[in-house]
Chain A
Amino acid sequence: MRSIVPVLTVVAAIIGLWYAAVIPMNIKEALMQAERAGAEVTPASARDRRDAAALGLVMQNSFAIGATFDQDRPRLPAPHQVMAELWDTTIDKRITSRRSLVFHAWVTLSATSLGFAIGTGLGILLAVGIVHSRVMDLSVMPWAIVSQTIPIIAIAPMIIVVLYSIGVQGLLPKAIISAYLSFFPVVVGMVKGLRSPDAMQLDLLRTYSATKTQSFFKLRLPASMPYLFASLKIGIAASLVGAIVGELPTGAQSGLGARMLTGSYYGQTIQIWSALFAAAIVAAALVGLIGLIQRLTLRRMGVTA
C-alpha cells in the first residue's frame, strides 16, 4: 500500500516526459502544416527546417506547440491521442467489427491461451518425467537449459509457413509458437520445484513407507507450486509475445500483431501505439490472473506468504 504514491509519481513522471518528448518529435510536421495554412514560420524554407535541430525549431515557433499534440500521423502520438484511439476502438466499436481492438485482442488472446495450455501441460509432464527418470534428466535437461539461451522466436515464421503448406492454418500455428515459448520456462521451473523438498522431508515420507505416487502428490507437487507459478508468469508473457510475433510473417489479417504490422505499413502510428497498449493491457491482465490464481491456491494450501 505504501508504494502507491511513489508508483503514481513515477507513472506521472513518465507521462510528463512523454508529453515533453511529443513537442520536438512532431514539430517539423506541425510547422509544415502551419506553413501550408499560411502561418509565418521561421526559418521559412522547408529545407532549412529539415536540417535544423528540433528543439531550436520549438523555440522559434512556440505558437505551433499546441499543434504537435494534435497530428493525424504523428511521429510520436501524445498520450491522450492513444487513449482516445483505444477508447474509440474498444468501447465505441462493435466487438465483432474488424476495426475493434477487442476483436483483435481476442484473436491474439485465444492463440495465446491455447498455446499456453499446450506448452504448460507438456512442460509439466516432461518435468515429472525428468524428476523420476535419471536417464531423462541427464539427456533432456541440458538441452532444455541450452534452449533458453537461443532466440527461439527466429523459428516462428518458418513454423507458420510450413504448417500452412501442409494445410494447417488459423489458430494452431500461432498457438504452437506460443506453446514452444512457454514450454521451457515451465520445464525448468517445475523441475526445480519438484526437487525442492529436502532430504529430511523425503526421508519422512519413506519412514511412512509412502509409494512414489503418494510422495509425488503429497509432497513434491505441493512443494513445487511456488516455482510453478513463478514460471507460469514468465511463460504466459512469453506466450503472448509468441502469438504476436506469429502474426507478423504471414501478413495475418487479424490479431494485435497484424494490427501493428498494418499500422507500420501505412504509417498509422496511433494505431500501432494503441495496439501496443492493448497488448500491454492483455499481458498485465494475464499475469495478474496467474497471480490471483497463485494467491488463491497458496492460501488454500495453507501457505501464508
Chain B
Amino acid sequence: MTVTLQLLIVWAIGWGGNVALSRSGHPVARPLVPVIFGVTLLILWEIAVRGFNVPGVILPAPSDIAARFATSLPILWADLVQTFFKGALSGYAIGCGAAFLTAIAVDRSGFLQHGLLPVGNFIAALPIVGTAPILVMWFGFDWESKAAVVTIMVFFPMLINTVAGLQETTPMQRDLMATYSASYTQTLIKLRLPAAMPFIFNGLKISTTLALVGAIVAEFFGSPTVGMGFRISTSVGQLALDMVWAEIVMAALAGSAFYGVIAAIEKGVTFWHPSQRE
C-alpha cells in the first residue's frame, strides 16, 4: 500500500512539475521537461522494483543496472569494439559507400533507374536480418560476417535515398548549368550532389540504426565469445538480466551517439536546407 502511495506521489510531483513548466512557456521548459519525465520514470521503476520485491531475474532495478554497468566497463567496452567498431562501422562504411557509387552509376541511365528503384524499394522492406545465418556460414563467426550482414542491410535504403536525391534538382537549375556549358561531372559535383545531400543524409541516418541491429542480431547466429549480441544471448541464458540491461544501455548510447554524429555532420553540410534553419 505504501509503495503504491509512494509511486503516486512521485508521479504527481514529476507530472505536476512538467504541467507547470510547460504551461509557463519558459524557454528552459523544452529541454527540461523530457529530462524530468525520464528521471521520474526511472524513480518509479526503482521504487516499484524495490517495493514489490520484484526478483532480479525478471526486472532489475535501475540502480542495479547502473552498478553492473560501472563494474563491467571493460567487458562492455570489449563488446562495443567487437560489435560496433569492427562489425557495424565497417559494414556501414562499405554498404553506404557501395550504395553511393551504385547510385551515381545508375543515375546516368534512366532505364536502370526505372528498373532498380522498385526492386530496391522492395528489397529495403524485406527482413534482411534473415540473411544473417547464411552470411555467418560464409564468412565465419568473427566480425567479417557481421560486417557483411550490415553491408546488405544498409545498401538498399542508402541506394534508394541517393537515387531519389540525385533527381532532386529542378529543370531550371539544370538549364542554368547547361547555359554555363557545364560538363556532366561539373553538374554532378556543383549542383546535383549538394542538392542530394538532405536525401543522402536521410539514408545515412536510417542506416545507423540498421547497422547496429544487423550486427547484434547476426551475433545470435554465431560469434566469438565477445560482442554485444553474444553477451545478450548468453546473459539471458544465465538469467543475468542486469548484464543484459547494461548491454542494452551501451547499445542505446552507441546508437544515439552514432546518430548524433551523422546528424551533426548533416547540420554542417546541409546548412542551407529549410529543415536546418533556425
Binding site for B on A (CB under 8 A): 2-3, 5-11, 14, 75, 134-135, 137-143, 146, 148-151, 153-155, 157-158, 161-162, 165-166, 233, 237, 240-241, 244-245, 248-249, 256-257, 260-261, 263-264, 267, 269, 272-273, 275-276, 279-280, 283-284, 287
Contacts and interface: CB of A to CB of B under 8 A. Distances in A.
A149 B125 contact: no
B247 interface: yes
B133 A150 contact: no
Interface centre among A6, A8, A275, A280 (most CB of B within 10 A): A6
Interface magnitude class on chain B: 35 or more
B118 A3 contact: yes
Interface in B118-159: 118-119, 122, 125-127, 129-131, 133-134, 136-138
A287 B245 CA distance: 33
Interface stretch (B169-177, B181-189, B233-241): B233-241
Interface string B1-24: 000000000000001001101110
Contacts of B76: none
Contacts of B91: none
Contacts, number: 163
A270 B133 CA distance: 12
A135 B137 CA distance: 50
A233 B58 contact: no
A244 B33 contact: no
B97 interface: no
9 contacts: A8-B115, A9-B111, A153-B213, A154-B228, A155-B248, A157-B220, A272-B133, A272-B134, A283-B126
Contacts of A272: 130, 133-134
B256 A264 contact: no
A135 B18 contact: yes
A63 B239 CA distance: 54
A150 B125 contact: no
A275 B58 CA distance: 32
Contact of A7 (B19, B29, B119, B222): B119
B38 to A, nearest CB: 7
Contacts of A273: 134
Given A151-B209, A272-B134, 18 more contacts: A2-B114, A3-B118, A5-B115, A6-B111, A6-B116, A9-B115, A10-B115, A75-B137, A135-B18, A149-B255, A154-B213, A154-B251, A155-B248, A162-B58, A166-B58, A245-B129, A257-B130, A264-B134
B241 A158 contact: yes
Interface string B201-216: 0000000110011001
Given A3-B118, A6-B111, A264-B221, A142 B125 contact: no
Nearest to B253: A150
A283 B222 CA distance: 25
Nearest to B221: A264
Contacts of A276: 130-131, 134
Contacts of A287: 125
A138 B130 contact: no
B125 A237 contact: yes
B22 A261 contact: no
A45 B34 CA distance: 67
A6 B113 CA distance: 8
Contacts of A142: 34
Nearest to B37: A139
B101 interface: no
Nearest to B120: A10
A138 B221 contact: no
Given A6-B112, A135-B22, A143 B118 contact: no
A157 B233 contact: yes
Contacts of A154: 213, 216, 228-229, 232, 247-248, 251
Contact of B59 (A150, A162, A269, A284): A162
B18 A165 contact: no
B53 to A, nearest CB: 14
A46 to B, nearest CB: 20
A138 B221 CA distance: 40
B22 A11 contact: no
Interface in B63-102: none
B253 to A, nearest CB: 8
Given A135-B22, A283-B126, A284-B126, A149 B256 contact: yes
